[in-house]
A = this chain, B = another copy of it.
Amino acid sequence: MNKPADQSAFETPKVTTGPLPASRKVYSHPLPDLAVPHREIDLHPSANEPPVAVYDTSGPYTDPSVTIDVEKGLARDRRDWVLERGGVEEYEGRHVKPEDNGGANGKYLAREFPVRHRPLRGLDGHKVTQYEFAKAGVITKEMVYVATRENMGRAQAHEDAAATIADGQSFGAHIPEFITPEFVRDEIASGRAIIPCNINHAELEPQIIGRNFLVKINANIGNSAVTSSVEEEVDKMVWAIRWGADNVMDLSTGRNIHNTREWILRNSPVPIGTVPIYQALEKVDGVAENLTWEIYRDTLIEQAEQGVDYFTIHAGVRLAYIHLTANRVTGIVSRGGSIMAKWMLAHHKESFLYTHFEEICDIMRKYDVSFSLGDGLRPGATADANDAAQFAELETLGELTKVAWAKGCQVMIEGPGHVPMHKIKVNMDKQLRECGEAPFYTLGPLTTDIAPGYDHITSGIGAAMIGWFGTAMLCYVTPKEHLGLPDRDDVKVGVITYKLAAHAADLAKGHPTAHLRDDAVSRARFDFRWEDQFNLALDPETARDFHDQTLPKEAHKVAHFCSMCGPKFCSMKITQEVRDYTAGLSDNERADLEKQAAAARAGMAEKSKEFMDKGGEIYLSESGEVREPIE
C-alpha cells in the first residue's frame, strides 16, 4: 500500500453547501450567545399551514448567510463557553509525529490543516465533563443548547397541544412533552444521556444522546489502507450531516489518519467519534502484538487534543472471554476486538485497555471525551447472536460504565451487530440492566445474513426495532456493508435509511411531536401538493426524481392525480367527495348512519353465530362425504 496520496489530498476539499429545498435555517436564542438551529420547511400557500420544523444536523453548510471556508474551518464559538466556566488550561499540546500519519512523507503525506489551535485540557480538582457539571447541579450552555434543539424551536404551548394526539409504547422510556435544561441536566447526571463534546471541538453544535430524547444516528466514514482520500472524507462528512447524520465516526486506517481527522474535525459541527486502537495499530505498522499501553495512551492524547468527541474503547474484551468465541460461525468480527484478542494471545496477558482503564478515564475526563464502550465480541452472524462471549463482555461493559462514571466521564455502550428479530429485545433489556441505563448505541442489528448489498435494509429493520425498545443512537449500515467502502451515494442511502428507522422508533415510542412531520406529508399527499410532499421528504431530491421519471412535466406537479391511477379515476379525489357528503349530513342522518354501522357490525356477529350453530357446515355436500364443522 505504498502508493502516493491521491492528488485530491492536496486540494481544498469541495463540499456541498446551500439550503435544502423550500427550507430555511432558523435560530433560537435561549441565551444571548447561543444560536440553536433548526430547519423550517415552507409549504405551499394553499396548504394554509405553518412551516414544518425539523431537527437540523447540517451545520452552517446549509445557511446561505455563512461563508464556508474549508481551509479555515467552522467558527469556534464553543471555546468561549468552555473558557468562561474555567477549570481548564490552554497549553502547547503534542506536536504531530511522523507515525501519526503512518510515516507518510513527501508526496505520500496529505496536506496538514492550515490552522493550528492550541488545545485545552481540564485541571485536576475542577469540573470538566458534562457529567461532572450535571452531578454538581450545574446547567451548562451545552445543556441549554441541546434542550432547545430537541424542542426544534417549539414553544411550550405548541408542544403541549401537539402532544395531545401522540401515543406510543415506550418500554419504560420517559419522554417529556417539553425538554427543559434541568431535565437534560438530570438525565446526564443519572448517566442516562450524554452530550459528546470534547472541550477542544469548539466548532461543535452540541447534541444529546439518550433514550428519553430523539433517537440519533451515526454515520461512519474514513479512508482505508486500500482506498480513498482526505478530500473525499471531508466531503462525506458534510454530505452525511446534510442528510441527517447526528454523529460521524472517522474510522480511517492506513496513512494520513492524523491529517484526515484534523480536516474533518475543524469542519464538523457534529460530534466526531474514533476508534483510537486503529491509529495505534498503524503506529506499530499493523503488528498487533507490538502495541503497548504507552503508544495507545499517546494516541488518546493526540486525538483528545484534536477534539475527538467520543472514543470507542474495547475494554470489555478480556483474556478469559476469548476462547468463548472459538465455536462461533464468524468468530470475532470487530476490528478493535480482534486487535486486542491478538495482543492478549500473543502476550498471554489481560488487555491493557482493561488493566489501564482508570488511567484511560483520567485522560478522557480532562478533555470530556465520552466513552463509547465497544462491543469487541459482538456477533458477526445471526448464528452467533446473544452468545456467552457477547453477554460476558456486556456484563464487563456494565462494570466499566460504573468505573467511568466514578471518574466523572460520560459513557455510552455499543451493541450488536447481527441479531434475528426475536433476539433483539433481550439485548436491549440486558443492556439497560447491566449498564445502569447508560445510552445504548447499536450497529443495526442486521436481522438476516442473506442479503449482502441490501444490509442497510436488513439492519434498518433491526435498528427501527431496537430504537423503539430504547436504543439511543443507531449506527448506520450502508449498502456496501460486507462488500466494499461506501461512496458518497452509499453514505446518503445509509443516512436516509437510518433517519427513517430512527423516526419510526420515535413515532412508536410516542415521542410527543414526532408525528407532526408524518401528518404534514400525509396532508400534502391527500391535497396533491406534490412539491410539499417532496420538500417534506427525508430526501427531497430522490422523491422528485422518482416522480419525474413517470410524469416529468411541470404541469403534473400541480395535477390532481398521479401516475398510479391516472387522471380519470383517483381515490384521493373520491375521498374528498366522501368528506363533502359527510359534511352535508344532518344530525339525524348522521345518527341514523351510526345506528346502521352498529347494526351492520352486530348483524355480522349474529350471522356468524347462526352459521356456527348450524355446525359450520360447508355449502357443498356430496352424498357419502363426511361433513366437518369449521374449526
Residues of chain B within 8 A of A452, CB atoms compared: 521, 533-534, 537, 543, 546
Q: How far is the CB of A505 from chain B (nearest CB, A)?
A: 7
> Is A79 part of the binding interface, using a Cβ–Cβ cutoff of 8 Å?
no
Pick from B226, B338, B547, B550: contact of A575, CB under 8 Å: B338
List B contacts of A620 (CB < 8 A): 125, 127, 132, 365, 407-408
Restricting to A9-58, which residues have a CB under 8 Å from any CB of B? none
Q: A538: CB under 8 A from chain B?
A: yes
Closest CB of chain B to A549's CB: distance in Å?
6
Interface string of A241-254 (1 = CB under 8 A from B): 00000000000011
Q: Is A329 positioned at the interface, with any CB of B under 8 Å from its CB? A: yes
Inter-chain contacts of A611 with B (CB < 8 A)? 402-403, 406
Instruction: Give the CA-CA distance A534 to B539 in the complex, in Å.
Output: 30
Contacts of A347 in B (CB 8 A): none
Would you call B405 and A630 a contact (CB within 8 A)? Answer: yes
Query: Are the C-beta atoms of A454 and B331 separated by less than 8 Å?
Result: no
A89 interfacial by beta-carbon distance below 8 Å: no
**When the two chains form the complex, which single residue of B168, B288, B578 contacts A325, counting CB atoms closer than 8 Å?**
B578
Q: Which residue of B lies closest to A533 (CB)?
A: B452
Q: Do A543 and B483 touch (CB < 8 A)?
A: yes
Q: Which residues of B contact A342 (CB under 8 A)?
A: 574, 577
Within 8 A of B (CB), among A557-609: 562-569, 571-572, 574-579, 581-583, 585, 590, 593, 596-597, 599-601, 604-605, 607-608
A136 contacts the other chain (Cβ, under 8 Å)?
yes
> Could you say how many copies of this chain the assembly holds?
2
Is A279 interfacial (CB 8 A cutoff)?
Answer: no
* Contact residue among B383, B539, B575 (Cβ-Cβ distance under 8 Å from A518): B383
> Do A507 and B421 touch across chains, with their CB atoms under 8 A apart?
yes
Cβ–Cβ contact A331 & B526, under 8 A: yes
- Rounded to whole angstroms, the CA-CA distance of A536 and B534 in the bound complex is 37
Question: Would you call A564 and B526 a contact (CB within 8 A)?
Answer: no
Residue of B nearest to A399 (CB): B604
Q: Does A294 contact B (CB under 8 A)?
A: no
A92 interface residue per 8 A CB criterion:
no
- Closest partner residue, chain B, to A391 (CB atom): B601
Chain B residues within 8 Å of A605, by CB:
399
* CA A399 to CA B447, docked complex, whole Å: 36
Whether A422 lies near B508 (C-beta < 8 A) is yes
Interface residues in A490-507 (C-beta closer than 8 Å to B): 496-497, 499-501, 503-505, 507
Contact B550 A484 (CB under 8 A): yes
Are A510 and B422 neighbours in the complex by a CB distance under 8 Å? yes
Residues in B whose Cβ lies below 8 Å from that of A418: 522
Q: Which positions 320-340 of chain A face chain B at CB distance < 8 Å?
A: 320-326, 328-335, 337-339
Does A617 touch B at the CB level, under 8 Å? Answer: yes
A350–B527 Cα distance when bound, in Å, is 28
Contact present for B572 and A330 (CB under 8 Å) = yes
Contact across chains for A330 and B575 when beta carbons are under 8 A apart: yes
On whether A453 and B542 interact (CB within 8 A), knowing A329-B523, A574-B339, A622-B125, the answer reads yes
Query: Is A485 part of the contact surface with B, judged by Cβ < 8 Å?
Result: yes
Which of A147-155, A202-210, A259-267, A459-467 touches B? A459-467
Is A126 located at the chain interface by the 8 A CB criterion? yes
B-chain residues with CB within 8 Å of residue A458 when the two chains form the complex: 500, 504
User: What is the chain B residue whose CB lies nearest that of A389?
Assistant: B597
The A92-136 residues at the B interface (CB cut-off 8 A) are 125-127, 131-132, 135-136
Q: Does A457 contact B (CB under 8 A)?
A: yes
Please, how many angstroms separate the alpha-carbon atoms of A395 and B617 in the complex?
21
Which residues of B have CB within 8 Å of A436? 630-631
Decide yes or no: A549 and B422 within 8 Å by CB, A339-B574, A504-B448 being known contacts: no
- Which residues in B have their C-beta under 8 angstroms from that of A461? 460-461, 464-465, 501, 504
Please report the C-alpha to C-alpha distance between residue A608 and residue B483 in the assembled complex, in whole angstroms: 41
Contact B504 A421 (CB under 8 A): yes
User: Any chain B CB within 8 A of the CB of A613?
Assistant: no
Give the chain B neighbours of A333 by CB distance below 8 A. Answer: 571-572, 575
Whether B457 pairs with A497 at a CB distance below 8 angstroms is: yes
- Cα A452 to Cα B534 in complex, Å, equals 8
From known contacts A253-B565, A335-B565, A626-B136, infer whether A618 and B406 are also in contact, taking CB-CB under 8 Å.
Answer: yes
User: Would you give 12 A-B contacts (Cβ < 8 Å), ordered by A?
Assistant: A136-B622, A136-B625, A320-B596, A331-B575, A338-B575, A341-B574, A381-B518, A399-B608, A449-B519, A451-B500, A452-B533, A458-B500
Q: A436-B631, A451-B496, A479-B546 are in contact. List 18 more A-B contacts (CB 8 A).
A: A125-B620, A136-B626, A137-B626, A225-B567, A281-B569, A286-B569, A322-B582, A323-B581, A325-B578, A330-B525, A339-B574, A399-B605, A418-B522, A422-B468, A436-B630, A454-B497, A480-B549, A482-B533
